Amino acid sequence: MANLNITNKQEKNSTVFTPEELSHYLYKLVTNEYDFKTIFDPCIGANGGMTKYYYENGYEVVGADIVEEGVNHCHTFFNQDIHNSNIPNEIKPDLIIMNPPFSGNGKGKNLLYPHLFLKTMFDKFGKDIPLVMITGDNFLNNNGIQSKRLKYISDASFEITSIMTLPLDLFQGVEFNTQVLFFNMPKLKAHYIFDISKILSPSEVEIFIERQKNKLKLKEANSYISGVSSCVNGDMIFF
């Protein structure tokens, strides 16, 4: 998940990775209930964070991304943009797992990235495929009455079977309300809360929190310097 600061219309040299603790938790949660064989991440990124444990434990992992380093974290890799996604028909995953950009749309498209990734995956692999997506809370909760996203979710034949609530400050350098949505996975509970204190020891939790704070302070300092030099106001888009 790259971090794009629109304050000065330039991409920052930083990447917000999926925390390993969350990746492992999701891996254990899914594999305890399901026996999937082939996993596909359409935005696998530079470190393959979402599929790390599948890759290390013998699952067939397929990845796609505009970042070429993704080739190092899967068995089959496609270097392509979601706007021009062209996954061969012989690729037939059992599970899609992804952490797409939280907002923004790129190239003037009118679908936010989470909506675009979700629609592209369901259009390609069918609306009954199991899918796990990390996204901002705004994906479900920031829709107007006539919103295209609201209508897409309401009218679709897929089902959001579970939601996981994530801490505000879980991701390094980012404070953003996020959640995990589970589609077409009825064996899981309806709601989970990711409580890192149940995974790490108290001392490890303190280290984790301090690491996040230091990263956030560094990001805020960089954003301030860039903002002053450009004198352009704007929002932040998290990828």
Q: What CATH number is attached to the domain comprising 48?
A: 3.40.50.150
pLDDT confidence bin for 237, thresholds 50/70/90: very low
Per-residue tokens: 36 = 């999937």
Least confident of 61-75, 95-109, 136-150, 187-201: 95-109
Please tell me which residue, 13 or 86, carries the higher pLDDT value.
86
What pLDDT digit, counting tens, does each position of 50-73 carry? 999 999 999 999 999 998 998 999
pLDDT at 99 > cutoff 70: yes
- Give me the mean pLDDT over the 154-177 stretch: 88
Which whole number is the average pLDDT over 34-61?
95
CB 76 within 8 A of CB 91: yes
Residues contacting 212, CB < 8 A, separation 6+? 169, 170, 171, 172, 173
The domain total for the chain is 1
Percent of the chain whose pLDDT exceeds 70: 79
Q: 17 falls in which pLDDT band (50, 70, 90)?
A: confident
pLDDT of residue 86: 87
Nearest residue to 19 (alpha-carbon basis) of 194, 206, 202: 194
Residue 1 has pLDDT above 80, yes or no: no
Tokens (6 digits) for 172: 């390094």
pLDDT at 180: 97
Structure-block tokens of residue 184: 């077409």
What is the domain range of residue 102?
2-238
pLDDT number for residue 47: 87
With 50 as the cut, is the pLDDT of residue 80 above it? yes
Residues 6+ apart with CB under 8 A from 38: 59, 60, 61, 62, 92, 93, 94, 95
Q: What mean pLDDT do residues 179-191 have?
A: 97
Residue 48 · residue 54 · CB < 8 Å = no
Using CA of residue 214, residue 216, residue 222, residue 227, what is the dihedral sign? Answer: negative
More confident residue, 40 or 149: 40
Q: What is the DSSP string of 36-89?
A: --EEEETT-TTT-TTTHHHHHTT-EEEEEESSGGGGGGSSEEEE--GGG----T
Coil, strand or helix at 33? coil
Nearest to 171 by CA among 115, 236, 127, 234: 236
Which residues touch 35 (CB under 8 Å, ≥6 apart)? none
H or E segment and range at residue 3: strand 2-5
Cβ atoms 107, 120 nearer than 8 A: no
Least confident stretch, 108-122, 131-145, 210-224:
210-224
